[in-house]
Amino acid sequence: MAEPYITLVSSLPYLPPFEQADRSPITRLRLEQRLHNLDTDDARQLAKAEALVGWRMSLAKPKTDADMVLRSRAAMQDISQSALREFIEFRIDQQVILAGLRQRNAGADASVLEPVSGASRWVRHIAAHWGDPNFKLAAVYPWIAQARTYLDGNDACALDSLLMHVIWQRLGHIAESNRFGFEAVFAFVFKWDILQAWLARDAVRAKFRFQDLIKEIKDDS
């Protein structure tokens, strides 16, 4: 197995489970410095993936579902690393399932998924099983039932935590598949992103952010 990033991986600190962390073990600046050891092409692919499926997307968030589909298709054409592609697909699947659950809770029917029909392999499946509580995907994604419970209870914090946990676990498996390869590096970066998002949780700031988003939507319309 290729181990091109032994030095880079060894220079990265241990990331504690995000729920137990009280501070980030590495700053973004220092992480960027370490990531300079990445091959140019790998660095480019990682940046694209971060902008697309990072917990806190670094680029402006897409305004519409169709915009998101276009953006993901464009990015996927540039991403050749199979493990990274699989992770992106996993994240997009997760987002599509969550969007389906939210839309159904809001009373929408399956036709609402049409704009994202090309985004995930599960869109047709979800539309076909719109009436099933878990879209008949519980065997593939066991977290759906729990996510549905949190959505029904309007518990956004618990839902966030659950999704972060699912992604964290997935990234752990990816990193284990090649401990000194690109897999370990990008798994670290996405985990670090989740950790930052977890540590940045702040009710007061969230309120201001929510008000900003409302203002942004009003300005657009």
Partner 1 sequence: MEPLILALGWVGLYAPLALGAVGSMIGCARAGSAACGALLEVESGYGRYIGVAAMPSSQTIYGIVVTMALRRELTLENSPGIFGLGLLAGLALLFSASAQGSACAASINVSKNKLEIFGISLAPAALVEGFAVFAFVFALVLAAGIPK
User: Total binding residues for partner 1 by CB under 8 A?
Assistant: 13
Q: What are phi and psi of 121, to 5 degrees?
A: -70, -15
Q: Are 45 and 76 in contact (CB under 8 A)?
A: no
Query: Among 4-12, 56-64, 96-104, 110-118, which window interacts with partner 1 (CB under 8 A)?
Result: 4-12
Query: Among 2-10, 129-137, 155-163, 186-194, which window interacts with partner 1 (CB under 8 A)?
Result: 2-10
**Residues 6 or more apart in contact with residue 141 via CB below 8 angstroms:** 93, 94, 97
> Does residue 117 belong to the site contacting partner 1 (CB under 8 A)?
no
Query: What's the chain's length in residues?
Result: 221
Query: Among 10-18, 47-55, 85-93, 100-108, which window interacts with partner 1 (CB under 8 A)?
Result: 10-18
Q: How far apart are CA 165 and CA 168, in angstroms?
A: 5
> Does residue 14 belong to the site contacting partner 1 (CB under 8 A)?
yes
Q: Closest Cα to residue 102, out of 169, 179, 156, 55?
A: 156
Quick note: the x/- pattern for partner 1 over 55-94, rule CB under 8 A, is: ----------------------------------------
Which residues of the chain form contacts with partner 1 (CB under 8 A)?
3, 6-14, 34, 179-180
